[in-house]
């Protein structure tokens, strides 16, 4: 295992949840931490509390100019960027049909394009260093479709596959990539931070999509995973000698991933003959 001490870690979305816990845990472990916030007061407070080891950066990942300026401020302050914890994101509950195009675009702008902006902004520094580690924060919904979170899950799935592509592109340059499939943690994701679609279609009320609204609305305080322990698990991935491309976070994440992989394997085996029937006939 490598040491995280004096490594420069950029954590997006550090105002609450896993991002907040991770930024604070990293400071405690001796890392140099740049943490992003959308509010100036929060950024200044983080800088003050970090005793010279932290920098609060005002940054909205949906603003390309702010991303470039924020990453430049991190380079100016610390001189390098060793790890990007690409955490910033937002959820939206609603069936796919209920989700407007504008709502879908906002979801993708935060959860996919925001992360892509961050990746593109830090890579010139990591390439010049010949080292770095990008952690793509995804979710169980990015690994398997979830009724009631369909468009959010699609945005996270795009984050997953982007990470897989980055892993292959960046490994020859000395840069590692890890896709985090994150389970259900006790954060504000299921509480005040969660959005709901503006339009609701009555036909979905008794379907899994409609039932999901009630499930997640009553989930706050009953989540199975602890955010502080999640932060420690993420730090262990950051300090691994050979970081994995795929990493689950939470026992529930492992169970969901294994269940999907088994279902896909079953479908492949049942329909293998049909799939192979497309081959050209022998000459």
State the pLDDT at residue 218: 62
State the pLDDT at residue 190: 46
Alpha helices in 136-175 (DSSP H): 140-143, 150-170
State the pLDDT at residue 267: 98
Using an 8 Å Cβ cutoff, are 92 and 107 in contact?
yes
pLDDT band at 40 (very low <50, low <70, confident <90, very high): very high
pLDDT digits (tens, 9 = 90+) for 222-248: 666 889 999 999 999 999 999 999 999
The CATH number fitting domain 8-250, selected from 3.40.50.720, 3.40.50.2000, 2.60.40.1180, 1.10.8.640 = 3.40.50.720
What token pair was written down for 36? Answer: 């992003």
Of the residues 7, 15, 20, 156, only one is catalytic, namely 156
Could you tell me the residue ranges of all domains in the chain? 8-250
Strand partners, 61: none
Entry field: residues in the chain:
283
Of the residues 138, 168, 259, 260, only one is catalytic, namely 138
Nearest to 62 by CA among 154, 155, 166, 128: 155
SS3 148: coil
What token pair was written down for 21? Answer: 């816990």
Active site residue 131: no
Mean pLDDT across the stretch 186-214?
80
| Candidate from 121-125, 190-194, 268-272 with smallest mean pLDDT | 190-194
Q: For the chain, what is the radius of gyration of the CA atoms?
A: 20
Non-local (6+) Cβ contacts of 67 within 8 A are 59, 61, 114, 117, 118, 121
Sign of the torsion formed by the C-alpha atoms of 42, 36, 17 and 48: negative
State the pLDDT at residue 215: 73
Would you say residue 135 has pLDDT above 90?
Answer: yes
Would you say residue 139 has pLDDT above 60?
Answer: yes
Percent of the chain's residues with pLDDT above 90:
83
pLDDT band at 194 (very low <50, low <70, confident <90, very high): confident
Average predicted confidence (pLDDT) for the chain: 93
Non-local (6+) Cβ contacts of 238 within 8 A are 4, 7, 9, 83, 133, 135
**How far is it, in rounded angstroms, from Cα 135 to Cα 125?**
16
State the pLDDT at residue 234: 97
What token pair was written down for 261? Answer: 């992989």
Active site residue 196: no
Mean pLDDT across the stretch 52-69?
96
Question: Model-level pTM greater than 0.75?
Answer: yes
Percent of the chain's residues with pLDDT above 70:
95
Of the residues 15, 20, 50, 152, only one is catalytic, namely 152
Residues 148, 153, 154, 158, Cα dihedral to 10°: 180
State the pLDDT at residue 161: 97
**How far is it, in rounded angstroms, from Cα 102 to Cα 135?**
28
| Candidate from 89-93, 128-132, 212-216 with smallest mean pLDDT | 212-216
Q: Which residue has the higher pLDDT, 124 or 220?
A: 124
Using an 8 Å Cβ cutoff, are 246 and 179 in contact?
yes
Mean pLDDT across the stretch 163-169?
98
| Candidate from 14-18, 63-67, 151-155, 189-193 with smallest mean pLDDT | 189-193
pLDDT band at 187 (very low <50, low <70, confident <90, very high): low
Q: Which residue has the higher pLDDT, 169 or 191?
A: 169
Q: Please provide residue 92's backbone torsions phi and psi, each rounded to the nearest 5 degrees.
A: -150, 125
Active site residue 152: yes
Sign of the torsion formed by the C-alpha atoms of 23, 25, 28 and 30: negative
Strand partners, 133: 83, 176
């Amino acid at each position: 295992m490598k040491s995280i001490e004096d490594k420069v870690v950029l954590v997006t979305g550090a105002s609450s949840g896993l991002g907040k816990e991770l930024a604070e845990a990293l400071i405690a472990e001796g890392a140099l931490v740049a943490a992003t916030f959308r509010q100036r007061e929060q950024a200044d407070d983080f800088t003050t509390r970090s005793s010279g080891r932290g920098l609060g950066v005002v940054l909205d990942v949906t603003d390309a100019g702010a991303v470039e300026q924020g990453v430049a401020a991190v380079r100016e302050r610390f001189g390098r960027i060793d790890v990007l914890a690409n955490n910033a994101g937002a959820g939206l509950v609603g069936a796919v049909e209920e989700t407007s195009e504008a709502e879908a675009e906002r979801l993708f702008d935060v959860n996919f394009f925001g992360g892509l902006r961050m990746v593109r902004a830090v890579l010139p520094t990591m390439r010049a260093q010949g080292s770095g580690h990008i952690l793509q924060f995804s979710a169980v919904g990015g690994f398997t479709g979830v009724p009631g979170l369909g468009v959010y899950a699609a945005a996270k799935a795009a984050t997953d596959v982007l990470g897989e592509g980055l892993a292959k592109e960046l490994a020859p340059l000395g840069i590692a990539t890890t896709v985090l499939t994150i389970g259900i943690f006790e954060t504000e994701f299921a509480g005040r931070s969660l959005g709901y679609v503006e339009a609701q279609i009555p036909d979905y009320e008794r379907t899994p999509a409609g039932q999901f609204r009630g499930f997640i609305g009553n989930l706050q305080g009953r989540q199975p995973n602890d955010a502080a322990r999640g932060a420690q698990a993420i730090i262990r991935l950051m300090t691994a000698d050979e970081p994995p491309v795929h990493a689950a976070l939470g026992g529930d994440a492992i169970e969901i991933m294994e269940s999907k992989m088994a279902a896909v394997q079953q479908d492949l085996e049942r329909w293998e003959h049909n799939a192979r029937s497309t081959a050209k006939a022998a000459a």
